[in-house]
Amino acid sequence: MITFDDFQKVDIRVGRIVAAELFPQARKPAYKLLIDFGELGQKKSSAQITRHYTPEELVGRQVLAVVNFPPRQIGPFMSEVLTLGVPDESGEVVLIGPGQDVPIGGRLF
């Protein structure tokens, strides 16, 4: 069990994907994403979401991401945020986002 104070240390924000492209150097199929978090700026993320999404349908989509983990080197790419999703029945990632448009940069409570 963790405390509510522990949970509040994880900074989860809503952002809008502004660019998405294939990441051929990744070990598993993935995209390189550029996500706009408003006042926090634009951040890069690698996401293994190629099964359910094309780059074209990702652009403009709002997603949730952890923005206060340290950057992580994934091959030649530096991932700055962890884009959140849950596995479907076959283990493929489905993105988590708000049910309607909300201001980007908003924090999950």
- Predicted confidence (pLDDT) per residue in 24-79, tens digit: 999 999 999 999 999 999 999 999 999 999 999 999 999 999 999 999 999 999 99
Let me know if residue 54 belongs to a domain: yes
Let me know if residue 70 belongs to a domain: yes
What pLDDT is recorded for position 109?
Answer: 85
- How many structural domains comprise the chain? 1
What pLDDT is recorded for position 3?
Answer: 97
Let me know if residue 100 belongs to a domain: no
Predicted confidence band of residue 85 (pLDDT cuts 50, 70, 90): very high
What is the rounded CA–CA span in Å between residue 28 and residue 47? 10
DSSP letters, 54-85, are -HHHHTT-EEEEE-SSPPEEETTEEE-SEE-E
The domain that holds 89 is classified in CATH as 2.40.50.140
Residue 56's domain comprises: 8-95
What pLDDT is recorded for position 90?
Answer: 96
Let me know if residue 85 belongs to a domain: yes
Let me know if residue 2 belongs to a domain: no
Let me know if residue 80 belongs to a domain: yes
Let me know if residue 109 belongs to a domain: no
Start-to-end CA span in the chain (Å):
18
Let me know if residue 108 belongs to a domain: no
